[in-house]
Amino acid sequence: MPIRVLSEQLASQIAAGEVVERPASVVKELVENALDAGATTINVDVRAGGRKLIQVADDGEGISTSDVQTAFKRHATSKLQSIEDLNHIETLGFRGEALAAISAVSQVTVVTRAARETRGTRLTLAGGQLLGQETVGAPQGTVIAVENLFYNVPARLKFLKSIATERRLIDEFVTRYALAYPQVRFRLTHDGRIAFQSSGSNNLRDVLAAVYGPETARDLLPISSAAAVDDEDAAAPETPDAPFPLSPPLPRHQVTVSGFAGPPSLHRSNRSQITLFVNGRWIKDNSLTYAVLQAYHTLLPVGRYPVAVIFISLPYDLVDVNVHPAKTEVRFRQAGAVFSAVQRAVRETVVADAPVRGFTQMRPEGVFSWGGSVDRPSFARQDEAGRVPAGHLHGQMNLEFPRAAPVAPFMPRPDGYERLPAAADDDDLGGERLPVMRVVGQVGTAYIVTEGPDGLFLIDQHAAHERILYEQFMDAWNHQQVASQGLVAGAAVYVTPAQASLLEEYLAALHKLGFAIELFGPNSFMVRAIPAILIHQDPAKAVLAVVEELEEDDRRAPLQNQIEARLIRRVCKTAAVKAGQPLALAEMQAMIQQLEQCRNPHTCPHGRPTLIHISLAQLARGFART
């Protein structure tokens, strides 16, 4: 083929792909424009996860009639004039690409009136082509409606995820910006229903409560602002590909870190709740995310991640925001200094809080530590019934929970089950059954020691219990007899807007597992019933654990029935006895008997081993008896 210059329209569509990847990117660009225009109120209305409509209305400075058409041209911006300006970008936009890109791949209507003008303008475009312009009466500000996104780019349309996923990504963007701009009033609706609202009161706590729910918001610790950077830190290594020439260390106080960090007791299964802003711009940065993780080093259980909202401010000329058209990546002139400023500010905040809350709240999650002066007998004293007296547990969790107090009867749920496909570990896949064993005792409040016909077994109490509950649950499921336990009072659960969309989407699936959960308010749910095996758990925490599993799943977009199997595994994990929990002899005996009944007793449902066998021959070898 001969070499040809692409048509203007094709070139725009290709360029648009870098800026507008999905509905959430449109929301991001339009909201950033509204913020750049000094809006104090921003309303985002979305239909069908943004496929049908994304409308962003602001009360900012508006676009003057003479500029409106230009605004939709490629590389048209009012925010940048010369190459020098690039060194101190104070606005969120500057590349002049967003409106052109959006209008190239959708049908756009804009109504706007500039502050100084008396009449407004309405402009319509489709596929980048101007359809019409008229003068209209309009309040000051700008309303941009983007309809039928990607209607002319079928390839992109195909790559969009489910409506629920796109919705959630939009929720994440809007809530992030609401956190960074607490002085701006945000409102987000999906299909006419309010999903999120912030007051614009300029009180970050209010926004935190709206985003994370009142309980989490209360727990978040304010990061002491103005973390100074030592000269020593400032000399830390630079990013190898820093686009700037080497420069002297940053003077003190040039990097300010503020925001909120969760106490160590608040942790999540992934790092998506670490949110970073640089000079008011939401960014993705693996290195700074790692700085936050480092700040929590040894304070969080393995494989768990903190919640944090971090605002970094530094002189504009020390950060390059022009790295990618989406503007979510930045480069720091002195990455090492910023890294240590973040790490130190978060660490100081978290450690200051840790002695009071971190340690005590971590234990029930299964993190076991030998610290402290608590005397921790490996065998808890028992009464005649084999039960450990409550006072003997040093505040640890007892198997009997007084709190759930359920009274409603167990309800079998015969409706709507299909047999789940056997996961790799489900049916008898050569998994050898266990011999009959005699319980000897507990070690480290985590392992049960038993004697079998040929030597001894060390059994991981958590993994084993998970296996038992899992097989019981799967049997009940396959016989359509999953038991559900009604909660007399109900339990309220507060989640993020993103989690709320997700939970709503799976309410029916969860119902089959024995949960009855209703929408309760914006981002809150009322739990009316839980699977019977969870009766000893805090219902709200159990639901949150399940939501986390859904979040994980959503990233991998698996098949529907696999989600159910994974949810069941998660429920069993939540219900299972944790490490660090003393068990009475009778409890251990009951557990071992049930493990002996299991079809696949050797691994937990996640594939980890439940037991270690040491044969008599191995013992003899070990003692040099042979």
List of residues contacting ligand ADP (CB under 6 A): 29, 33-34, 37, 58, 60-63, 71, 76-79, 93-100, 142
Residue with tokens 């758990």: 537
Minimum distance of ligand ADP from residue 296's CB (angstroms):
36
Half-sphere exposure of 124 (CA within 13 A, CB side): 7
Per DSSP, the three-state class of 99 is: helix
* Stretch (H or E) spanning 57: strand 53-58
**Shortest Cβ distance from residue 314 to Mg ion (Å)?**
22
Nearest approach in angstroms of CB 497 to ligand ADP is: 23
- Identity of the residue, 32 or 587, whose beta carbon is nearer to ligand ADP in the bound complex: 32
Binding partner of residue 522 among ligand ADP, Mg ion, none, CB cut-off 5 to 8 Å per kind = none
Sheet holding 107-113, edge to edge: 129-136, 120-126, 107-113, 141-147, 53-58, 41-47, 185-190, 193-197
530 within 8 A of 515, measured Cβ to Cβ: yes
Q: Does 33 bind Mg ion (CB under 5 A)?
A: yes
Distance in angstroms (rounded) separating the CA atoms of residues 46 and 146: 10
Judged by DSSP in three states, 409 sits in coil
Q: Which does 108 bind (CB under 5 to 8 A by kind): ligand ADP, Mg ion, none?
A: none
- The residue written with tokens 């693996």 in the block is 286
CA distance linking residue 420 with residue 422, whole number of Å: 6
User: Could you give the CA distance from residue 542 to residue 530 in angstroms, rounded to a whole number?
Assistant: 9
The answer to the question of residue 31 lying near Mg ion (CB under 5 A) is: no
| Residue 96 binds: one of Mg ion, ligand ADP, none (C-beta under 5 to 8 A by kind) | ligand ADP
Q: What does the radius of gyration of the chain's CA atoms come to, in whole angstroms? A: 29
Smaller CB separation from ligand ADP, 95 or 347:
95
Q: Which two tokens stand for residue 19?
A: 């800026």
Sheet containing strand 410-412, strands side by side: 410-412, 483-494, 524-531, 516-521
Burial class (CB in 10 A: 0-12, 13-18, 19+), 126: middle
C-beta of 180 vs 337, nearer to Mg ion: 180
User: What residue number has its CB nearest to ligand ADP?
Assistant: 93
With contact defined as beta carbons under 8 Å apart, do 470 and 461 qualify? Answer: no
Give the total residue count for the chain.
Answer: 626
Q: Six-digit token pair at 133? A: 């312009």
Q: Say which amino acid occupies 383.
A: D
Residue number with CB closer to ligand ADP (139 or 414)? 139
- Angle at alpha carbon of residue 492, lines to 490 and 496, rounded to 5°: 155
Query: Among residues 97 and 460, whose Cβ is nearest to Mg ion?
Result: 97
The minimum distance between CB 29 and ligand ADP, in angstroms, equals 6
Query: Which of 620, 552, 512, 56 shows the shortest CA–CA distance to 304?
Result: 552
Q: How far is the CB of 135 from Mg ion (least distance, A)?
A: 24
Supply 311's token pair. 């605002």
Among Mg ion, ligand ADP, none, residue 76 binds (CB under 5-8 Å by kind) = ligand ADP
Applying CB under 5 A, among 30, 98, 288, 513 the residue interacting with Mg ion is: 98
Asked whether 531 and 515 are in contact (CB, 8 A), the reply is yes
Q: Give CA–CA dist 603/424, Å, rounded.
A: 11
Considering only the stretches 95-103, 178-186, 496-504, 547-555, report the one whose residues sit in contact with Mg ion under the rule CB under 5 A. 95-103
146 versus 309: smaller Cβ distance to ligand ADP: 146
- For the CB of residue 7, give the shortest distance to ligand ADP in the complex, in Å: 21
* Identity of the residue numbered 171: D
- Rounded Cα–Cα distance for residues 72 and 89 (Å): 21
Distance in Å, CB of 5 to ligand ADP, minimum:
23
Measured from the CB atom, the residue of 18 and 475 that comes closer to ligand ADP is: 18
Based on the shown chain and the rule CB under 5 A, indicate whether residue 325 belongs to the binding site for Mg ion.
Answer: no
How many CB atoms are closer than 10 A to CB 93?
A: 20
* Closer of 76 and 420 to ligand ADP (Cβ): 76
283 within 8 A of 330, measured Cβ to Cβ: yes
Residue 254 binds which one of Mg ion, ligand ADP, none, with CB within 5 to 8 A depending on kind? Answer: none
* Shortest reach from residue 180's CB to ligand ADP, in Å: 17
Nearest to ligand ADP of 181, 260 (CB atom): 181
Compute the least distance from the CB of residue 173 to ligand ADP, in Å: 15
Write down the least CB distance from residue 19 to Mg ion, Å: 9
Q: Where are the beta strands (DSSP E) in 389-454?
A: 410-412, 438-443, 447-452
Closer to Mg ion by Cβ: residue 60 or 452: 60
**93: contact with Mg ion by CB under 5 A:** yes
Nearer to ligand ADP, 28 or 344 (CB): 28
Reduce the DSSP state of residue 125 to 3 states and report it.
Answer: strand
The distance of closest approach from Cβ of residue 519 to Mg ion in the complex, given in angstroms and rounded to an integer, is 35
Q: How far is the CB of 305 from Mg ion (least distance, A)?
A: 31
CB of 72 to Mg ion, least distance (A): 12
Q: Which of 302, 214, 298, 208 is nearest to 261 (CA)?
A: 208
In the complex with ligand ADP, the residue whose CB is nearer, 79 or 161, is 79
Mapping DSSP to helix (H, G, I), strand (E, B) and coil, where does residue 186 land? Answer: strand
Closest CA to 462 of 446, 438, 440: 446
Nearest to ligand ADP of 59, 554 (CB atom) = 59
Tell me whether residue 96 or residue 455 sits nearer to ligand ADP (CB atom). 96
- Total binding residues for Mg ion by CB under 5 A? 3
**HSE (CB half, 13 Å, CA atoms) of 346?**
33
460 binds, among Mg ion, ligand ADP, none (CB under 5 to 8 A by kind): none
The pairing of beta strand 447-452 with beta strand 524-531: unpaired
Least distance in angstroms from the C-beta of 358 to Mg ion: 42
Segment 560-599, which members bind Mg ion (CB under 5 A)?
A: none
Which one of Mg ion, ligand ADP, none is in contact with 214 (Cβ closer than 5 to 8 A by kind)? none
Which spans of this chain sit near Mg ion (rule: CB under 5 A)? Answer: 33, 93, 98
